[in-house]
Amino acid sequence: MSTSPVTRSRRGRRAGLALVFLVGKNLMALLLTDGPMPRTAEILPRVLIVAGLISALGLVAVAGREVREVLSETVARHTKERIVDVAAAVELQAYENPAFHNRLARAATGQHRPIQLVDGLIGTIGALAGVAGIIIALLTIQPWLVPMVIVAAVPLTAAVLKAGQSLFGFHLRMTAATRARNYLFELLTGKPSATEVRAFGLTAHLLRRHGDLYDAHMTELRRTARQRFRIAVAGNLALATTLAGALAVLLHLALSGRIELADAATAGAALLVLAERTMMTVMSVGDIYESGLFVEDFTSFLAFGPAAIAARPTEPAPDRFRRITVEDLTFTYPGRRAARVARCLAADRRR
C-alpha cells in the first residue's frame, strides 16, 4: 500500500529524531569523559551532524505542512460534492422532514471531519514511527524505562476515547437547536426577510429566541467541556505519575553510581521525549476515533442518495388524467404528531 507524502515526511522526522539522540549521546559521552578534554576538531564534526539533522527535520516539517494544505482542500471539495449529490437526489418530500434537515446540517458542519480523520491517521503513523525510533534508542541505554511509559499510556488512551464520545454526543443532542439558531440568524441578517421582520416588529422577539437557544447551547457546551476536562485530567495524571517515578529511579541510579552520568542524562531526555511522543500518539488515536464517529454519521447520510435514486419510479408519469376522484382526503406535514392538519371532504374532477 502506498503512503502519502505527509506520512513519509513524518516518518522521516521521527527517524531523524532517533538519530539526533544517538549522536547526542555519543557527543555527551565524549564531553563527560574522565580523561583529557577532546579537541575542537574531534567534537566539531559531531556537532555539525546534529545541526544538520535538526535542520533537515525542520525542512521536512515545512514540506509536510504545505502538502497538508493541498490535501485539506481536496478532501473538503470531495465532501461538499457528495453532500450536494445527496441533496439533489432525494425527493422533495425529504425537505419536509426535520430528521433529514438535521442530518444535512450535521453533514454540512462536519465536512472538515474527514480531513481531521486523515490528519489523525497520518499523525498516528508518524508518532508511532517517532516512538519506535526513540524506543530503539532507549533500549540501548535503559530498556526498563520503555514498558513503564507504554503501560502509563493505557489509561490516557481510554480517557481520550471517552472524551471523543462525549463530544460526539453533544453535537447529536444540539443539532436541532443549532439548526433553529442558524435559521433565526438568517432571518435577522438576511435581505429577503428584512422587510417582513421590521414590518411586523419581530426583531426583539427573534433576538430573544436566538439568545435563548445560544444560552442553552453554551450551557450544554460548558457541561460537556467540564466532563471532558475531568476525563483528561485523570488520564494525564496517570502518565505524569509514571513519568515522575521513572525519572526519580533514574536519578537515584545516577547519583549512586550504578549508571554513567552521560547515559542517565541521555536516558532522561529520551524518556521525556518518549512521553511527549506517546501523548501525541494517543491524541492522534483520539482524533481518529472522534472524527470516525462523525464520519460514520456522514457516510450514513451519503447513503440517502443511492437509496433515493433506487426508490424512484421507472415508468414515465402520465401526461394527463381522464378523471380524478378524492374522498375523505387528509393531509399532514411529515414529522408532525397530529394525525391531520387539513381535510378535503370530496372532489370529482373530470376532463
pLDDT in tens, 42-62: 666 766 776 777 777 777 777
Predicted pLDDT at 304: 80
- Asked whether residue 13 carries a pLDDT value surpassing 70, the answer given is no
**Is residue 134 situated within a structural domain?**
yes
DSSP states along 271-313 = HHHHHHHHHHHHHHHHHHHHHHHHHHHHHHHHTHHHHHHHHS-
pLDDT in tens, 83-122: 999 888 888 888 888 888 898 888 888 777 877 887 788 7
At 213 the pLDDT is 95
Q: C-alpha cell of 63?
A: 514540506
Q: How far apart are CA 281 and CA 174, in angstroms?
A: 30
Question: Is residue 123 included in any domain, yes or no?
Answer: yes
Q: Is residue 189 part of a domain?
A: yes
> Residue 1 pLDDT more than 70?
no
Domain that holds residue 286: 5-304+323-350
From CA 208, how far away is CA 187, in angstroms rounded? 13
What pLDDT is attached to residue 226?
Answer: 94
- Of 21-30, 242-251, 295-304, the one with minimum mean pLDDT is 21-30
Residue entry with cell 430528521:
99
The more confidently predicted of residues 292 and 115 is 292
Average pLDDT for 291-315: 82
- Residue 42: what pLDDT? 63
Supply 284's cell numbers.
492522534
CB atoms closer than 10 angstroms to residue 102: 16
Residue 334 vs residue 56, higher pLDDT: 56
pLDDT score recorded for residue 345: 46
Q: How much is the average pLDDT of 191-200? A: 88
Residue 312 lies in a domain: no
Average pLDDT over every residue of 223-241: 89
Cα 320 to the center of its chain, rounded Å: 54
pTM: 0.65
The most distant pair of C-alpha atoms in the chain lies apart, rounded to whole Å, by 114
Give the pLDDT score at 215: 96
Helix pair 191-199, 175-189: axis angle to 10 deg:
80
Looking at the chain, list the stretches that DSSP marks H as alpha helix, in order from N- to C-terminal side.
5-31, 40-89, 98-109, 113-139, 145-173, 175-189, 191-199, 203-255, 261-302, 304-311
pLDDT digits (tens, 9 = 90+) for 133-145: 777 777 777 777 7
Give me the CATH number covering residue 46. Answer: 1.20.1560.10
pLDDT in the model for residue 205: 93
In a domain, 184, yes or no: yes
**Does position 74 have pLDDT exceeding 50, yes or no?**
yes
CA separation for the pair 166, 145 (Å, rounded): 33
pLDDT of residue 341: 47
Residue 163 has pLDDT above 80, yes or no: yes
Asked whether residue 317 is assigned to any structural domain, the reply reads no
Count of domains observed in the chain: 1
pLDDT tens per residue across span 25-48: 665 665 555 556 666 666 667 667
The rounded mean pLDDT for the chain is: 78
The H or E element containing residue 174 is none
In a domain, 65, yes or no: yes
Q: Is 315 domain-assigned?
A: no
Average pLDDT over residues 323-328: 76
